[in-house]
Amino acid sequence: MHRSLLLASSLAVGSSLALSLYLYWLHDTLHRCTHHTSRSGPLASYSVADRIETVPEAVFSSGLFFSVYDRSWRVVKKKILPEAEKEQEEQQELGNLLTLYLRHNMLQFSQFFPQAWFLRFIAPAGSLSRRSFSSEYIRRLDFQPEDVVCGVYVVKLRTRNKVEFEIRPFTTPASASAAADEKTGGRLVISIQEEGRDEYVFSNETVMWKAVDDESVVLPLERAPLRWMHELASWWLLDSAGDVLIDDTTYP
């Protein structure tokens, strides 16, 4: 009996160690091939305000808010497309490509990442938040304003080349989100920019903020383990950007 317990414990410890080593290796490998910048503090307005349109202006200009900003991006050559499909892809609306990319990313996130598993677990049963994790639901999304995906991501702005999501807790009704933004809030911005004729720039940006003197709130990206997990998810999803251009199974 004791030997069986010892063997089971050893296997569990060994498996956990192997998984941890693999994840650290993956994080390091993805870091080497991903452009990345992050900063925190009472950010100056020039930092991100030009790219993120739905964040209240005071967050980046008043000095009254503490912010955490993270951006990762990857440049993808259009020539990775098969020649037979390249011309058709170049003619495709960038907005359609963005929808394809968003569906792909949210499907991958909902299925493979512990953050999504936890959010799904705590989402109210029978709610839209819970349904928004399902593959069938995500495959039908066009990511228009007020669309919800993976529980807490609510579309605030949709343009041809980007979507800005409000990170809205389950307990915050839509009518209260604007007021909540005045104290604390967050945005996830996913975009695709054409770089000349030969490249796409895929970008994931996250910004979170709180009142600069509010010590009772700790933003998720202030916590080192959560920041590390966020980086791993963001970089892994960016790494799959090339697959989206070749495989159109998530776009009807």
Average confidence (pLDDT) over 112-136: 89
pLDDT greater at residue 90 or residue 75: 75
Lookup result for tokens 């000349």: 196
What is the pLDDT of the chain when averaged over all its residues? 78
- For residue 248, what pLDDT band results from cuts at 50, 70 and 90? low
Amino acid at 202: F
> Taking the complete model, does pTM exceed 0.75, yes or no?
yes
Of the listed ranges 27-36, 134-143, 175-184, 224-233, the one predicted with least confidence:
175-184
pLDDT tier, 58 (very low <50, low <70, confident <90, very high otherwise)? confident
Question: How far apart, in whole angstroms, are the C-alpha atoms of residue 80 and residue 83?
Answer: 9
| Interacting residues of 86 by C-beta distance below 8 A, sequence separation 6+ | 78, 79
Amino acid at 196: G
Return the DSSP state at 79. G
Which residues face 78 on adjacent strands?
none
The residues, ordered by sequence, that sit 6+ positions from 144 with a Cβ below 8 Å of its Cβ are: 155, 158
Higher-scoring residue by pLDDT: 13, 73: 73
**What is the rounded CA–CA span in Å between residue 43 and residue 52?**
13
**In sequence order, what are the beta bridge partners of 74?**
202
Query: Per-residue pLDDT for 182 more than 70?
Result: no
Half-sphere exposure of 65 (CA within 13 A, CB side): 25
CB 140 within 8 A of CB 150: no
Q: What is the separation of C-alpha 228 from the centre of its chain, rounded to a whole number of angstroms?
A: 13
Task: Give the pLDDT mean for 180-191.
Answer: 83
Residue 1 structure tokens: 């009996």
CA atoms of 26 and 181, how far apart (whole Å): 35
pLDDT score of 147 more than 90: yes
pLDDT tens per residue across span 67-80: 889 999 988 877 65
Under a CB-based contact definition with an 8 Å cutoff, are residues 36 and 231 in contact? yes
Residue 114 in tokens: 């512990």
Q: How far apart are CA 165 and CA 110, in angstroms?
A: 16
